[in-house]
Amino acid sequence: MNYFSEAIAWILDPANASGPSGVWARCWEHLWYTLLAVVLACVIAIPLGYLVGHTRRGRGLVVVSSGAARALPTLGVVTLVGLVLGIGLVAPMVALVLLAVPSVLAGAYAGIEAIDRRTVDAARAMGMSEWEVLTRVEIPLGLPLLLGGVRSATLQVIATATLAAYVGAGGLGRFLFLGLKTQDYPQMLASALLVVAIALLMEGVFEISERAAARRLHTA
Amino acid sequence: MKIRIAAALAAGVLALSACSSSNPLGSASAQPSGSTSAAGGGTLVVGSQQYYSNEIIAELYAQALEAKGFTIDRQYQIGQREVYLPELQAGTIDVFPEYAGNLLQYLDKDSTAKTGEEVIAALPAALGDTLRPLTAAAATDQDSYNVTNEFATTNGLTSIADLAKLNRTVKVCANSELEKRPYGPPGLKSTYGLDVEVIPVEDSGGPLTVKALKDGKCDTADIYSADPSIVANDLTTLTDPQSLILPQNVVPIVSTKVDDAAAAVIDKVSAALSTEELVALNALSVDKQQSSAQIAKDWLTAKGLLS
Amino acid sequence: MGWVLANLELIGSRTVSHLLLALPAIALSFVLALPLGWFAATRRWSRATLLTAAGLLYAIPSLPLFVVLPTIFGFGVRDALNVIVALTLYGLALMVRSAADALDSVGRPVRLSSTALGYSTFSRFWQVELPLAGPVLLAGLRVVAVSTISLVTVSSLLGVDNLGLLFVDGFQRGILAEVLTGIIATVLLAVAVDGLLVLLGRLLMPWAKAAGR
């Protein structure tokens, strides 16, 4: 595992750490791309998921279309959108949001769907309006599954955000492509390790928030 | 670099494992991989890079050889050098169209060869005992710096040296590896006194790069000289008066299984292949959307190489 | 449509190669995920570790994986086996979580009562837990199937024959129809396999009305 230690050494080398194309800057960019993509995906998918989950309508359509979205080859999408909109952050962002939407959507509607019908009916019997049923019963109860969906979407986006560098944007993909094309394997592996490190960090954040959500659910 | 689109990534990735001086992939790739098999008897395996133009040249060799009674196994669209060179060296591929300058640079990073002749002369030693180059074609396909005609007229640009007139850091759209190439930022600085920033677009001068150039995201773009898109998009190729960029003649690399008879067939193809012809062949693939088989058949027939 | 009609044979052979890479990987990740998922579901202490490991596996960018695997297993980069192993790992990463959730959903009372009824651990798994977990397992398998079929295209960058070659080649040559054919054929293939899995689910689990989510 010679190149493995070389990769670690590359990451720890102070010469690579700072500056606009240093390790820290690229990590931030990567994290920023990831958060932006996931937040955008949530803005699109959560209301839609809640609508489907609450009304129990259009589920088939959502399943089929999110299945199809999952099957979209990301590299193909990045290049196609890039051809239309030019290089920069827009094309990879479109692809990343498309990548993240199915998981978030599934988490949002599955969270509501998994709730026992009787619980929801009881809430209605208590005189809650549909809006109250959604916001005070379904959304809190569905939170753990939603978080699970957002979590897997985030992981996928972190790994795939390397493609941003393919069309002139930043992120850890810059090291990946440069290392790979100049046969600088330590640099290339270093970028993969940093990607996994960011994933680990986000996993930690989700683990904590999922536990918090579960705790709230039990004490509520 | 003849790396196209993301093919490049894959290829480079492969090399990731090569940690020290030797390539641990070498032995692994040497196994008959996938449908590849070290065919016995009279079968020759013809390979190509994952680059449509390279596939066309490979198909020229393949059909010319078939016309002379050789049996051909086609292994096209094989990523990049990191993938196919070990297979060539192991003898699972017998014929491969290569580009002299970049091949030499890959095999021997310290090579000092400058001219086309020097590159060709240095190749046999760099290739070792198991492989040899046949006669190179006149056709070349190499990196070139291009600007839009409009940009060239406005700023009075004809050569790379003229980019200094912009009086600022020049933005180049290119694959990220240009950063480290002798004809990239270091060479442009030392030879032409230019300060250069590389904007990485990883499609090897493909449509994304052309689009970025036309959108004004960069001043100049690195595009392969035999790419029909240079003409199709009204681009001006800047001349290189100081010969900074290595010439990339198309050269067939063959294994020991290729005897004199087979070599003679391939030599005839190379002798007929000029740069203009290559650009025309590429244009048939890009504009007329013809398959490599169709393009090769028509061209070889016209040149009388199938009879 | 002109390009499609002129290249039907090519599209057909690329589709077959695509399936030959995807189907073994899908099947393998399902089979391997079952014991791991069962472990995670029945041994609480192993759950967090297994699931986090699986999640991180999924976070590895796929291209470096295609390179590292041959050095570990000793096969060629362009070998179908290399692609299948890499895809299986990604499939496993997704499937272990589903399998754990599915077997989890069976519930402790059911497990305990079937043990009380005299089932051994082995027969309990096959005759009680697996059928009860079926619908959720199927849901997970469908996600794995679709993702795997999409992910196969990345291996085209290595020169492995599959539908991804269509959009790589079409992109270089600026043939939009070829690019779109590659993308659409991949999506259609995924939807078709997904549909088959749903049908299979109905055949095997007639008791589950709408199988999976």
pLDDT of residue B194: 93
Q: In this structure, are residues C67 and C77 in contact, taking their beta carbons and an 8 Å threshold?
A: yes
Signed CA dihedral, B84, B88, B91, B94: sign only = positive
Cβ neighbors of A4 (< 8 A, separation 6 or more) are: A189
Q: In this structure, are residues C114 and A35 in contact, taking their beta carbons and an 8 Å threshold?
A: no
Place of tokens 């088939």: A60
The CATH class, in words, for C2-208 is: mainly alpha
Q: Please give the interface size between A and C, counted as residue pairs whose CB atoms are below 8 Å apart.
A: 102
Chain B neighbors of A185, CB-CB under 8 A: 15-19
* Inter-chain residue contact A196 with C186, CB threshold 8 Å: no
Q: Give tens-digit pLDDT for A39-64.
A: 999 999 999 999 988 888 888 888 77
Alpha carbon distance, N-terminus to C-terminus of chain C: 34
Structure tokens at B33: 């991989």
What pLDDT band is residue C208 in, cutting at 50, 70 and 90? low
* Inter-chain residue contact C171 with B36, CB threshold 8 Å: no
To probe the interface with B, which of C68, C69, C172 has the most B CB atoms within 10 Å? C172
The torsion angle over the Cα atoms of residues B208, B214, B215 and B216, rounded to 10 degrees, is 120
Query: Residue B27: how many CB atoms within 10 A of its CB?
Result: 15
Query: pLDDT 10s per residue in chain B (307 long)?
Result: 333 433 443 433 333 333 333 333 333 333 333 333 333 447 899 999 988 999 999 999 999 999 988 999 998 888 778 778 888 888 889 999 999 988 998 888 788 887 888 899 999 999 988 899 999 999 999 999 999 999 999 999 999 999 999 999 999 999 888 888 888 899 899 999 999 999 988 888 888 899 999 999 999 999 999 999 999 999 999 999 988 888 889 999 999 999 999 999 999 999 999 999 999 999 999 888 889 999 999 999 999 988 7
Scanning chain A, the segments in alpha helix (DSSP H) are 2-12, 14-17, 23-55, 59-71, 74-85, 90-113, 117-125, 130-132, 139-160, 173-181, 185-219
Give the DSSP per-residue string, chain B: ----TTHHHHHHHHHTT--SSS-THHHHHHS--TT-----TTEEEEEEESSHHHHHHHHHHHHHHHHTT-EEEEEEEE--HHHHHHHHHHTS--EEEEEHHHHHHHH-TT----SHHHHHHHHHHHH-SSEEE-PPPS-B--EEEEEEHHHHHHHT--BGGGGGGG-SPEEEEE-GGGGGSTTSHHHHHHHH---EEEEEBSSTTSHHHHHHHHTTSSSEEEEETT-THHHHTTEEEPB-TT--SPP-BEEEEEETT--HHHHHHHHHHHHH--HHHHHHHHHHHHTS---HHHHHHHHHHHTT---
* Inter-chain residue contact C183 with A188, CB threshold 8 Å: no
Q: Which of A113-117, A131-135, B67-71 has the lowest mean pLDDT?
A: A113-117
The ranges assigned to domains in chain C are 2-208
- C-alpha A165/C-alpha A172 separation (Å) is 8
Q: In this structure, are residues B39 and B73 in contact, taking their beta carbons and an 8 Å threshold?
A: yes
Place of tokens 């480290």: B180
Tell me what the mean pLDDT of segment C150-161 comes to: 83
Q: In this structure, are residues B235 and B213 in contact, taking their beta carbons and an 8 Å threshold?
A: yes
| Long-range contacts from C199-202, C-beta under 8 angstroms, 24+ separation | C201/C134, C201/C135, C201/C138
The 3-state secondary structure of C129-185, one letter per residue: HHHHHHHHHHHHHHHHHHHHHHHHHHHHHHCCCCCHHHHHHHHHHCCHHHHHHHHHH
Looking at every residue in chain A, the average pLDDT score rounds to 86
**Identity of the residue in A67, A152, A196 whose CB atom sits nearest the CB atom of C146:** A67
Q: In this structure, are residues C193 and C144 in contact, taking their beta carbons and an 8 Å threshold?
A: no
With CA atoms as reference, report the closest residue to A145 among B46, B231, C156, C101. Answer: C101
Scanning A126-166, the segments in alpha helix (DSSP H) are 130-132, 139-160
- Say whether residue A77 is in contact with chain C using an 8 A CB cutoff: yes
- C-alpha B200/C-alpha C53 separation (Å) is 33
Asked if pLDDT for residue C212 goes beyond 70, the answer is no
Asked if pLDDT for residue C189 goes beyond 60, the answer is yes
- C-alpha C201/C-alpha C185 separation (Å) is 24
- Tell me the three state secondary structure of residue A176: helix
Q: Could you tell me which chain B residue has the CA closest to the CA of C160?
A: B78
Q: In this structure, are residues B39 and B74 in contact, taking their beta carbons and an 8 Å threshold?
A: no
The CATH class, in words, for A3-219 is: mainly alpha
Q: Between the ranges A150-154, A167-171, B205-209, B235-239, where is the mean pLDDT highest?
A: B235-239
* Inter-chain residue contact C71 with B24, CB threshold 8 Å: yes
- Say whether residue A95 is in contact with chain B using an 8 A CB cutoff: no
* Inter-chain residue contact B289 with C63, CB threshold 8 Å: no
Phi, psi of C81 (to 5 degrees): -60, -40
- Say whether residue A12 is in contact with chain B using an 8 A CB cutoff: no
Q: Please give the interface size between B and C, counted as residue pairs whose CB atoms are below 8 Å apart.
A: 120
Cβ neighbors of A115 (< 8 A, separation 6 or more) are: A137, A138, A141, A142
With CA atoms as reference, report the closest residue to B227 among B135, B131, B142, B137. Answer: B142
pLDDT of residue A157: 92
- C-alpha B99/C-alpha B140 separation (Å) is 8
pLDDT of residue A219: 64
With CA atoms as reference, report the closest residue to B124 among B273, B269, B253, B263. Answer: B253
Structure tokens at B247: 């010439």
Cβ neighbors of C176 (< 8 A, separation 6 or more) are: C170
Q: In this structure, are residues C81 and B36 in contact, taking their beta carbons and an 8 Å threshold?
A: no
pLDDT of residue C32: 92
Q: How far is CA C202 from the centre of its chain?
A: 19
Asked if pLDDT for residue C161 goes beyond 80, the answer is yes
- C-alpha B66/C-alpha C192 separation (Å) is 40
Asked if pLDDT for residue C186 goes beyond 80, the answer is yes
* Inter-chain residue contact C61 with A192, CB threshold 8 Å: yes
Structure tokens at B305: 């190489």
- Say whether residue A83 is in contact with chain B using an 8 A CB cutoff: yes
- Say whether residue C66 is in contact with chain B using an 8 A CB cutoff: yes
Task: Write out residues 106-135 of A within 8 Å (CB-CB) of C.
Answer: 106, 110, 113
The ranges assigned to domains in chain A are 3-219
Cα radius of gyration (chain A): 20
Beta bridge partners of B252: B97
* Inter-chain residue contact B50 with C159, CB threshold 8 Å: yes
pLDDT of residue B151: 93
Which residue would you say has higher pLDDT here, B190 or C41? Answer: B190
* Inter-chain residue contact B179 with A182, CB threshold 8 Å: yes
Chain B neighbors of A75, CB-CB under 8 A: 6
In terms of residues, how long is chain C? Answer: 213
The alpha carbon of residue B68 is apart from the nearest alpha carbon of chain A, in Å, by 39
| Long-range contacts from A15-22, C-beta under 8 angstroms, 24+ separation | A21/A174
Cα radius of gyration (chain C): 20
- Say whether residue A185 is in contact with chain B using an 8 A CB cutoff: yes
Tell me what the mean pLDDT of segment A146-170 comes to: 87
* Inter-chain residue contact C190 with A70, CB threshold 8 Å: yes
Determine what percent of chain A is predicted with pLDDT higher than 90.
Answer: 20
Q: Could you tell me which chain B residue has the CA closest to the CA of A182?
A: B177
Q: Could you tell me which chain A residue has the CA closest to the CA of B82?
A: A183
- C-alpha C59/C-alpha B152 separation (Å) is 45
Chain B neighbors of A177, CB-CB under 8 A: 9, 12, 175-176, 200, 202
Subunits close to C (at least 3 CB pairs below 8 A) = A, B
- C-alpha B53/C-alpha C25 separation (Å) is 33
Task: Write out residues 190-219 of A within 8 Å (CB-CB) of C.
Answer: 192, 195-196, 199-200, 203, 207
What pLDDT band is residue A1 in, cutting at 50, 70 and 90? low
The alpha carbon of residue A167 is apart from the nearest alpha carbon of chain B, in Å, by 5
To probe the interface with C, which of A63, A175, A177, A189 has the most C CB atoms within 10 Å? A63
